[in-house]
Amino acid sequence: MVRAALLMFVWLAALAPGSAVADQSAPLSLLPAAPAIIGDQVPQDELAAKPVVVTFFASWCPPCTDEFKALNAVRATYPAEKATIVAVNLFEKWGGKDNPARMAKFLRRTKPDFYVVKGNKQIAKAFGDIERIPSLVVYDPKGKEIWRFVHLRGAKKMSATAEEIQAALDKAVMPGT
């Protein structure tokens, strides 16, 4: 009897409205608490009801520069009211050294037209144990992951292109395309 009740509870919990969406968008819920590197922190309402692009970067990473250029190009087609873009800084102290001047130079060079925040181990883990940069994830308006790029060691392809990111966003707003 107890086992049947437990199984019924688990089954009903799985069917509860919004439970799948909440689990899928859980990584996004961590972003508003991340400290802004430039501009503002990410408001919670920027992460709902529209596609979200999250990229992971470091200022010392050459492919990250190219990816920021691609994201700025995407911003022209997908302005802030149509999609949210968040860059999360990870592994900045790689080699044990913090270099604020290097970050400032990177931001002057790339001129990001999107949120740029400081990440941490909890954020990296929540987004799928991010261990490589650049890594980029696209979510649909319901918070479901629909596309991911990870720069793999030794790969010829170093970063996501504007065309790939735009295609993922197009898919996010028009599922089935």
Residue 110 within any structural domain of the chain? yes
Helix (H) or strand (E) holding 49: none
Q: Domain count for the chain, please give it.
A: 1
Asked if residue 36 has pLDDT above 90, the reply is yes
For 67-112, give the DSSP string: HHHHHHHHHHHS-TTT-EEEEEE-STTGGG---HHHHHHHHHHH--
pLDDT per residue as tens digits for the range 127-158: 999 999 999 999 999 999 999 999 998 889 99
Whether 1 is in a domain gets the answer: no
Residue 5 lies in a domain: no
Query: Is position 19 within any domain?
Result: no
In a domain, 20, yes or no: no
Domain of 125, CATH number, reads 3.40.30.10
Strands 145-150 and 84-89: unpaired
How far, rounded to the nearest angstrom, does the alpha carbon of residue 135 sit from its chain's CA centroid? 8
Strand pairing class (84-89; 135-139): unpaired
Share of the chain above pLDDT 90, in %: 76
* Structural domain for 39, as ranges: 25-173
